Amino acid sequence: MDEINSSPRPLSTSLSAQIILYLKALLLPPMGFFWGYRYFRQSDTKSKLIGLFTILITIIEIIWITQSTITAINTINQQVAQQSALYGL
- Answer whether residue 5 is part of any domain: no
- Answer whether residue 34 is part of any domain: yes
- Answer whether residue 8 is part of any domain: no
pLDDT digits (tens, 9 = 90+) for 39-80: 999 999 999 999 999 999 999 999 999 999 999 999 999 999
Classify residue 54 as exposed, middle or buried by CB count within 10 Å of its CB (0-12, 13-18, 19+).
Answer: buried
pTM above 0.75, yes or no: yes
- Answer whether residue 7 is part of any domain: no
Q: Give residue 63's domain range.
A: 15-86
Helical H segments across the chain, by residue range: 15-27, 29-40, 45-86
Count structural domains, the chain.
1
